[in-house]
Amino acid sequence: MLRYFLGRLLTFVPTFLGVTLISFAFIRVLPGDPIIVMAGERGLTEERYQELSRQFGFDQPLLVQFWDYFTGVLQGDLGQSYVTKKPVFDEFFTLFPATLELSLCAIVLAMLLGLPAGVVAAVYRGKFFDRALMSTALVGYSMPIFWWALLLIIVFSGNLGWTPVSGRIDLLYYFDDVTGFMLIDSLLSGQSGAFLSAVRHLILPTIVLATIPLAVIARQTRSAMLEVLSEDYIRTARAKGLSPSRINGLHALRNAMIPVITVIGLSVGTLLAGAILTETIFSWPGIGKWMVDSIFRRDYPVVQGGLLMIALMVMIVNLTVDLLYSLINPKIRHR
């Protein structure tokens, strides 16, 4: 097991190198010069342009710029945002907990609803429940997120007044960040009602963000279950007279989990990159909007540093998924 883990860990090195290079190259391949964008309609003189180029280090050959960046990264220095002048590393960790908290809530909700829905649909294949569930999943999957989020806000916050419109917690509560996770920090603050307010603020964005993974998980679980349920050993189990719940729950589900975990892992990877639309609509201070703003402003250090950090998080998730495979299926770790 340890060997397997170390083996997987070794593949980190080339991936990390590749991501560093790609994230550096990506933003520079895009047209648009950060200095010109910064000057806007006003424009700037040639001398001033040269001066700023020198300050940002753009007058150096690309290789030198990359080397400076790369050696910085190895020392844990991702550079400073051109705009806010703050270290990229600090900005990332200020915003990332918000993204992580929302992503985890969304993926948990998607699993809690998606797994049972998929199993039930497979067991009652072709019946009304199966059809209704799968059509709903298709609708969920195809829903324009922007529209869906606004619809929920207008109905639940606007008309019914059950949930707050946006933000992470009521403005009434104010405490310093400890972990960056609002659910935990609100409990730690000891202010009465803070935790409940944080939960209420999480409801709509969680539903919106969970919608697509929920649909994908439900459909994936259903098809994986269907495949397993037609296997010989399931027929044998049935012949032995095992109860349907034992067959479906234990024998079938465990074997159907491999493709499902893959899908969950991929969903988590996508969610960690920041849900741009969901974050923008719910004024959720995560990394999705931060990255998009930086791309528009051509804030090179933020784009390349942010991409690198996100890639790192996704790699960690993938590693976890690999480890989970081997827990579920011993054949994988002994291969």
Partner 1 sequence: MSLKTYLAIGGLIAAVSAGTAGAQTLVYCSEGSPEGFDPALYTSGTTFDASSQSIYNRLVEFETGTTKVIPGLAESWDVSEDGLEYTFHLRSGVKFHSSDSFTPTRDFNADDVIFSFERQRLEDNPFHMASGGTWEYFQGMSMPDLISSIEKVDDMTVKFVLTRPEAPFVANMAMDFASILSAEYADQLEADGAMEMLNQAPIGTGPFTFVAYQKDAVIRYAKNADYWKEGLPKVDNLVFAITPDASVRYQKLSAGECHVMPYPNPADVTAMQDDDNINVLEQEGLNVGYLAYNTTIAPYDNPKVRKALNMAIDKQAIIDVVFQGSGQIAKNPIPPTMWSYNDAVEDDAYDPEAAKAMLEEEGVTDLDMKIWAMPVQRPYNPNARRMAELMQEDFSKVGVNVEIVSYEWGEYLSRSRALDRDGAILMGWTGDNGDPDNFLAVLLGCDGVENSNRAQWCYQPFEDLIQEAKVTTDTDKRTELYEQAQVVFKEQAPWATIAHSVVYMPVRPEVEGFKVHPLGSHIFTEVSLAE
Contacting positions for partner 1 (CB under 8 A): 30-34, 36-45, 48, 52, 55, 80, 82-86, 91, 94-95, 150, 153-154, 157-158, 161, 164-168, 170-174, 176-177, 280-286, 289-290, 296, 298
The answer to whether the CB of 123 falls within 8 A of the CB of 248 is yes
Which residues are within 8 A (CB) of 113 and not within 5 positions of it... i.e. 6 or more apart?
Answer: 210, 214, 218
Measured from the CB atom, the residue of 40 and 126 that comes closer to partner 1 is: 40
Cβ distance to partner 1 smaller for residue 108 or 154: 154
Query: Smallest distance from the beta carbon of 90 to partner 1, in angstroms?
Result: 10
Q: How far is the CB of 144 from partner 1 (least distance, A)?
A: 14
CB 24 within 8 A of CB 304: yes
Nearest to partner 1 of 70, 296 (CB atom): 296
Residue 105 C-beta: closest distance to partner 1, Å: 17
Q: How far is the CB of 51 from partner 1 (least distance, A)?
A: 8
Nearest-approach distance from CB 15 to partner 1, in angstroms = 29
Q: Which is nearer to partner 1, 192 or 230 (CB)?
A: 192
Q: Which is nearer to partner 1, 130 or 170 (CB)?
A: 170
Nearer to partner 1, 157 or 223 (CB): 157
Burial class (CB in 10 A: 0-12, 13-18, 19+), 331: exposed
CA atoms of 187 and 244, how far apart (whole Å):
43
What angle, 0 to 180 degrees and rounded to 10, lies between the N-to-C axes of helices 12-29 and 2-10?
Answer: 30
How is residue 283 annotated by DSSP? T
Pair of tokens at residue 144: 């324009």
Alpha helices per DSSP H over the chain: 2-10, 12-29, 34-39, 46-56, 62-74, 88-123, 128-142, 145-152, 182-189, 194-229, 232-240, 244-246, 253-272, 276-281, 287-297, 300-328, 330-334
Nearest distance, CB of residue 63 and partner 1, angstroms: 23
Residue number with CB closer to partner 1 (177 or 231): 177
Map tokens 């931060």 to a residue: 290
